[in-house]
Amino acid sequence: MPKSTVTFMCSECGGESLRWAGQCPHCHAWNTLQEFQVRKAGPGRKQAGAPSPPTGSRPIPLSEIESEAAPRRTLAWGELNRVLGGGVVPGSVVLVGGEPGVGKSTLLMHAAQQVAARGGRVLYASGEESPQQVRMRAARLGPLSSGILLLAETDLDAICEAIRAEAPEMAIVDSIQTVTDAGFEGGAGSVTQVRESAGRFMRLAKEIGVPIFLVGHVTKEGAIAGPRVLEHIVDTVLYLEGDRRQELRILRAMKNRFGSAEEIGVFAMGEAGLEEVPDPSAALLANAALTAPGTAVVVVLEGTRPLLIEVQSLVMIIAVLEKRASTKLERSDIFVNVAGGIRITEPAADLGLALSIYSNTRDSPLPDGLVAIGELGLAGEVRRVGQLDRRLQEAARHGLTRALIPAGSKAGRPAGLDVVEVRTLAEAISAAFSSPMKSGAFIREAEASVT
């Protein structure tokens, strides 16, 4: 056993502590601190984690350094290339995180098939599933290729040796939480094992120029070390998100040493695996129940991409009569659903959501072709949002005909889109409904703020 010192590391956020505690002092998660061995950097042995420069390195004038050592290799899917920053960078280590079952293995098998389809070789090390299971999945996705080499292995040394020996165009390790280094204590998935393995893969990738993709499961329990423990080590961190019961999957760049960390790629999970969705707004609006009460369309920005999204609300009125009489939302339970399982965090969706709820309480749908853009202040004022031009263009491109925007916003007027500026929620309701109902909580709240 090598000499080591011990600290404690949170399996959720990767924060380090010198002492054990029941609660992580960094992210405040409970029972997530795990013993973490820091191997002493002895002679001939580099410290875990940090990528080491090749031995015998010397300082080089900046002007003599080649701009990009090796060009990126693009995959068949533009959605994947976009999130990677334009393609796969040789020698990079990419962590693909996500909850179990979201589609990480499927996504990476697609990538492997795309590399193999143009004659490249891929090494797929699987510690999660048997070779038969991996073969079955691959067969669902496309023709089986001899260019994909499967290695059923969890031993770190054995995987590294195989990558070195095969020198493939791409290597995939599924998952990092199954890999163990026999030289370290702690079972598979412990922070020590996960970090040591990732550090080794980093050094190997840099040394031989092979890009390595690591799958990392996100768990809520903290029983195994989550991907965040590795975020500082690897070059690129991508998270695959989506509701398992729905089709849409979003691959989100959280960190990228080789590109923007704001990009997203959109995919749909179907019978034959994933498909890329180059025009997500169209897909998101395709099944929209736009003529039903409680539905509104908003435009949110994901990185640089505007997405048209349908928000729905359901207002469960405790006393139906009360609903007919006036709008007393304090007596109601309100359920909000965002189409496609997308998480909206942007305040620009506020106005759409408020209109959706109002439309519900009035039991009448919002007009066809309407999109609502704006943040709501507590006094009912509609506040300006960023990148309005981009949002309006996306709405116009998808055939929406009327946009409510915050008053005073500077934006062009795309052809075919009737743009209406609104100052308050009350104005927005008047603009949205031809015969506005001058009662109800929103109206009263909004009118109070109108000067």
Residue nearer to ligand TYD on the CB measure, 230 or 431: 230
Site stretch for ligand TYD (CB under 6 A), options 184-192, 267-275, 332-340, 422-430: 267-275
Residue nearer to ligand TYD on the CB measure, 72 or 104: 104
Query: Which residues have CB under 8 Å from 348's CB, separation 6+?
Result: 298, 299, 300, 301, 373, 374, 375, 385, 386, 391
Residues in the interface with ligand TYD (CB under 6 A) total 15
Residue nearer to Mg ion on the CB measure, 105 or 178: 105
- Binding positions for ligand TYD, 235-264, rule CB under 6 A: 244
We find the least distance from the C-beta atom of residue 398 to Mg ion, in angstroms, to be: 34
Q: Is 226 in the site for ligand TYD (CB under 6 A)?
A: no
We find the least distance from the C-beta atom of residue 109 to ligand TYD, in angstroms, to be: 8
- Residue 202 CA to residue 92 CA, distance in Å, equals 7
We find the least distance from the C-beta atom of residue 367 to ligand TYD, in angstroms, to be: 36
Q: Is 137 in the site for ligand TYD (CB under 6 A)?
A: yes
**Cis peptide, bond prior to residue 449, ω within 30 of zero:** no
Q: Is 98 in the site for ligand TYD (CB under 6 A)?
A: yes
Amino acid in the structure at residue 265:
G
We find the least distance from the C-beta atom of residue 215 to Mg ion, in angstroms, to be: 6
Among 199, 226, 273, 306, binds ligand TYD (CB under 6 A): 273
Among 11, 37, 105, 190, binds ligand TYD (CB under 6 A): 105
We find the least distance from the C-beta atom of residue 161 to ligand TYD, in angstroms, to be: 25
- Residue 173 CA to residue 128 CA, distance in Å, equals 10
Residue nearer to ligand TYD on the CB measure, 82 or 104: 104
We find the least distance from the C-beta atom of residue 218 to Mg ion, in angstroms, to be: 12
Supply the DSSP symbol for 225: -
Angle between helices 104-117 and 131-141 (to 10 degrees): 70
Residue nearer to Mg ion on the CB measure, 133 or 304: 133
Residue nearer to Mg ion on the CB measure, 11 or 105: 105
Q: Can you spell out the DSSP letters for 27-92?
A: T--BS-EEEEEEE---TT-PPSSSPPPPTT-----GGGS-S-SS--B--S-HHHHHHHTSSBPTT-
Q: Is 126 in the site for Mg ion (CB under 5 A)?
A: no
Q: Is 103 in the site for ligand TYD (CB under 6 A)?
A: yes
Q: Can you spell out the DSSP letters for 322-369?
A: HHHH---GGGEEEEEEEGGGPPP--GGGHHHHHHHHHHHHHT-PPPTT
Tokens 């020996």 sit at which residue? 165
Q: Is 92 in the site for Mg ion (CB under 5 A)?
A: no
Residue nearer to Mg ion on the CB measure, 237 or 422: 237
Q: What per-residue string of b and e applies to 13-52 under the rule 16 or more CB within 10 Å gives b? A: bbbbeeeeeeebebeebeebbbebbbbeeeeeeeebbebe
Amino acid in the structure at residue 322:
E
The CA–CA distances, whole Å, from 338 to 77, 183, 210, 245 equal 26, 48, 40, 14
- Residue 351 CA to residue 373 CA, distance in Å, equals 6
Site stretch for Mg ion (CB under 5 A), options 102-110, 155-163, 389-397, 428-436: 102-110
Closest C-alpha to 318, from 333, 305, 303, 297:
333
Residue nearer to ligand TYD on the CB measure, 66 or 271: 271
Q: Is 106 in the site for ligand TYD (CB under 6 A)?
A: yes
Interacting residues with Mg ion (CB under 5 A) = 105
The contact set with ligand TYD (CB under 6 A) reads 98, 100-106, 137, 140, 244, 269, 271-273
